[in-house]
Structure 1
Amino acid sequence: MAEALGFDPHDPGRRAHYGEFYGLTELPDAPIFMVHGNCQAESLRVLLHGAGEGRWHGVRVPPVHELLAEDLPHLTRLLNRCSFVATQPVASGYRGLPLGSDEILALTPADASAVKYPVMRWTALMPTLAIVRAAGVTDPPIAPYHDLRVLVAAAQGQKSVRLEPVSPEAVRASRDESLRQLRTRQEAHGTVDAASLFEAAGPNAAYVINHPSNQVLMGVARAILDDLGRAGEVKDPGRVLLGGIRAPIYESTLDALGYRPEELEGGSREHWIIGGEKVSEADVAAEHLGWYARFPQVVAAGMKRHERLIRTMQLVD
């Protein structure tokens, strides 16, 4: 299981990184909280922890997709100490474990507070980018995201693909679909509002579709504190929380959305930035096409999941 998830749960460095969670480091004598969810959870914990200025303490925990059965005693111990919990909507029995939002909140003390924040995905700035999951298959090489233009080319048996910007109408259709899905998730799960924050952030809303900018994350953290009725100043941490990988953002995309290229931090770009290094979009596409040939089930899963958007954007005839 651990190998399939791409990490070693017994790695000493990893366990030290989550030292408080694993009981390797003593918890402070202060109200404790945790943030449960995907990669966005740790960034929100950092912001909420800083806003407390010593009045509460956020414990760093592994993201939900890394938690294993052997972690459950540590999770239960921590939740029993929590004064408040923020959680993304996670289905009960996630990955065969009691890691769902309701299961997590059931382990908190009766007087603990809880709030839900949405799974945040925003495709407005990178309309052809997508997330695809297929059983038993990890992420594609170089950039762990899928470009619908490349996915369609693979489905059609093409050996190469020319990455042309999509039409302004397609850009706006992707933005509208992203907004619709986010608002639907928020309403369905009773979360704080993030959709309006993405709209307000404009060209600087996200670095990739599931990595919001500091501006958006700070707004979500403020909404969480407001929902909990806790006073605290959410401050910029002085570093980009989720900027380790940045997708191409075309000038034509910005134009279609009514933004000017100079409004985007660093300007428009037709390349990836991964670990601070520029990576050609064409190189990523070529690697992904070869990878799709080895894992056709990913192509099938992606075409099915994103069929509506693919047709709306006219990526197929």
Structure 2
Amino acid sequence: MTTTPSHEGHEAGSWAAPPNGEYGVVVGNCQAESVRLVLNSDELRLVRVPPVFELDAAGAARLHELVSGASILIAQPVKDDYHDLPLGTRQLAASLPPSGRTVTFPVVRYAGLYPFQAALHVPGVEETPPIVAYHDVRTLAEAAGAPVRTRLDRDAVQAEAAASLAELRRREEPLDVGVSDVFARPHFELVRTVNHPGNEVILAIGARVLRALGRDGEPIDPGRPLLNSVHAPREDWVIDAWGLDDDPDPSWSVDGRSVDPAEVREAHLEWYRRHPQFVLGAVERLRPTFERWRR
């Protein structure tokens, strides 16, 4: 199998189906494009499409048209009428030809290595915070007037990991492909942030998609790190909790630039002051996490 080069995000000028022969489509969030990258080959031609959160009505119509000519739909689960558009996995699968195949794989989130981090959306707040679009529960709790601990002990770190894995298992249970077992022995190459898996995870998903399709061969490592634009801090107490050999790195890495976490904290506190409705919604969404951080 040979892959075609790509970048982390979606490039303009995609959507084009091959001029002849069978092709497939991979649909989902930013993880979907990485899965497409490791599977795309002369034997399994996969069309690049934007992540679903970027699509408007015209894009949704174009995606259905593309799927209607595909033999394979490889998809992360998307609820029906996502963003009031017919972008649900079931809705897209209904556009496949009668002989078409659908294989589903999970949206990967794992907090065991970044138990202080959350990636979430609060309805009514479309803007994202500056510098990094991730929330530190310690900063968020401070903004809410209910400060929590600055670090967790070993048992608490592993409790966060267990809660994260339980949710991943719940989400992947009805799907064709699972990946939660890959996190049995946590290490930093597995995830760069809570929702940006590394190549090891993407390749595992790719291999399992191929098996689900009944195809031989293996996915291809593209020779560069995928989903690599943002790396969260590697805190010493997390490293100690898992007995890892890594050196701590308290800084964020954003597009190759080291960013002081204090800079992120101050920018986010100011953003929370301007978006109190986000703080209220986030605290409600993250209530179990905050409870574990207060113990």
For residues 191 and 146 of structure 1, do their structure 2 counterparts lie closer, same or farther at Cα, with a shift above 3 Å needed?
farther
Count of aligned pairs: 285
Counterpart of 2:134? Answer: 145
Report the Cα distance in structure 1 between the residues aligned to 2:185 and 2:150, rounded to whole angstroms: 28
State the shift of 1:157 in Å.
7.5
CA distance in 2, matches of 1:206, 1:143: 16
CA deviation vs aligned residue, 1:118-174 (integer Å, no higher than 9, x gap): 11101111101001212233211001100000000000088xx9x833222221111
Q: Matches of 1:144 and 1:249 in 2, distance apart?
A: 17
Provide the residue aligned with 1:19 in structure 2: 13
Matched, 1:125 2:105: no
TM-score by length of 1: 0.85
Q: What whole-Å deviation, never above 9, does each CA across 1:225-256 have from its counterpart, x for those lacking one? A: 11111112212101111011000011220211
Task: Name the residue aligned to 1:223.
Answer: 208
TM-score for both structures, normalised by structure 2: 0.91
Q: Secondary structure at the match of 2:72?
A: strand
What is the aligned partner in structure 2 of residue 77 from structure 1? 65
Query: Is the 2:235–2:248 contact (alpha carbons within 8 Å) kept by the matching residues of 1?
Result: yes
What code does the residue aligned with 1:181 have? E
Query: RMSD in angstroms over aligned alpha carbons?
Result: 1.8
Q: Report what 2:21 is aligned to.
A: 30
Equivalent residue for 1:169? 155
| Per-residue deviation, 1:19 | 2.5
**Are 2:30 and 1:39 aligned?**
yes
Cα distance in 1 for residues equivalent to 2:291 and 2:176: 30
**One-letter code of the match for 1:17?**
E
Render the CA deviation track for 1:210-237: whole Å, top value 9, x for unaligned. 1000011000010111111111221210
Q: Is the 8 A contact 1:30 1:57 kept in 2?
A: no
SS at match of 1:126: coil
CA contact (8 A) 1:31 1:55 kept: no
Aligned pairs (5 A) from 1:106-255: 106-134=94-122, 135-156=124-145, 164-187=150-173, 189-200=174-185, 202-255=187-240
Aligned to 2:82: 94
Deviations 1:90-144 (A, max 9, x none): 1101000000010010001111111110111011111010012122332110011
Q: Which amino acid aligns with 1:165?
A: R
Deviation, 1:200, is 4.4
Q: Could you tell me which residue of structure 1 aligns to residue 270 of structure 2?
A: 290
Listed as ranges, the gaps of 5+ residues in structure 1 are 1-15, 262-266
Write the letter of the residue equivalent to 1:178.
S
Cα 1:60–1:117 change in 2 (3 A) is same
> Aligned partners of 1:306, 1:30: CA distance in 2, in Å?
47
Shift of 1:77: 2.0
Moved more, 169-178 or 26-35: 26-35
Q: Which runs of 5+ in 2 are unaligned?
A: 1-9
8 Å CA contact 1:201, 1:215 repeated in 2? no
1:57 aligns with 2:45: yes
User: What SS is found at the alignment partner of 1:203?
Assistant: coil
1-structure distance, mates of 2:140, 2:84: 30
**SS of equivalent residue, structure 1 residue 278:** strand
In percent, how many aligned pairs have the same letter?
A: 35
> Does 2:294 align with 1:305?
no
Secondary structure in 2 matching 1:248: coil
> SS state of the match for residue 17, structure 1?
coil
Which deviates more, 120-129 or 169-178? 169-178
Give the number of the structure whose residues are more often helix, by fraction.
Answer: 1
